[in-house]
Amino acid sequence: VEKDKKRKDKPTYCHDRPENIIFNCAPKRPKNVPCDIHHCKVQGKDWLVLVGIHNDYPYEIFAGEYTEDMYVPKTVKEGILQKNGKQYSLIVPIRKSEVEYKDIACVFLQPNHRSLTRMISLALRHGVRPVFIAEQLKKADEGISEFSTVVSRVFNRYMKNLDYEYLEKNGTKDVCEFCGSSNWLFTGGCKTCADCGLGSKCD
């Protein structure tokens, strides 16, 4: 009974759920978007993930394995994603000079990764928070398991802060800063997050 109650009380991150789907319009993309550059290793393979940021929020993503044509030093953590027509370029500072990698989608993304990153970017710019995207990626089949692991790992770095700030702005302040849950376990004068076990608050 306790397990069932816990499952029903799990937060939905939405206070007033609408009865119908609400259609959103994505903000217009500037020509240049700053991006965070993440270097990941999964099952012995090196991956590069580029997360475009618009108004301090993830707007688009590119993710693929390292290639000789798309080698970015691990010391480089930031860059610019520039859109020219239908092509995207990555501009990064390397040794006090700007280096431009042209048509990055075709250079280092496999066809299936290219399609997935387009869909993920579409979801981001239309208001789907990273926590929901990461949850769906974790359910992916073996065909894209490495890709979904990489993207979920990167999104974990964003959703802890972004979802907490989102919930705080929308009136739910008593939430776990790590997972956004409001499901607390009380022990003495302290309470611990029942969903992730990381968040804790004491009187």
- Whole-number pLDDT of residue 159: 67
Q: Let me know: does 75 contact 92? Beta carbons within 8 Å.
A: no
In whole angstroms, give the CA distance from residue 54 to residue 60: 9
The residue length of the chain stands at 203
**pLDDT confidence of residue 131:** 77
> What pLDDT does residue 11 have?
44
User: Which 3-state string (H, E, C) describes the chain?
Assistant: CHHHHHHHCCCCCCCCCCCCCCCCCCCCCCCEEEEEEEEEEECCEEEEEEEEEECCEEEEEEEEECCHHHCCCCCCCEEEEEEECCEEEEEEEECCEEEEECCHHHHHCCHHHHHHHHHHHHHHHCCCCHHHHHHHHCCCCHHHHHHHHHHHHHHHHHHHHHHHHHHHHCCCCCCCCCCCCCCEEEECCEEEECCCCCCEEEC
pTM of the full structure: 0.71
The pLDDT value recorded for residue 132 is 80
pLDDT at 33: 95
CA dist 29 and 121 (Å) reads 12
Other Cβ atoms less than 10 A from the Cβ of 45: the count is 11
| The pLDDT value given to residue 7 | 43
pLDDT tens by residue, the chain, 203 residues: 455 544 444 444 555 667 888 788 889 999 999 999 999 888 888 899 999 999 888 999 999 888 878 888 888 999 999 999 989 999 998 888 899 999 998 888 888 888 889 999 999 999 887 878 887 887 776 666 788 888 888 887 876 555 555 545 555 456 666 666 666 777 666 777 766 666 676 64
pLDDT of amino acid 9: 44
Cα angle, residue 95 at apex, residues 92 and 100 outer, rounded to 5°:
30
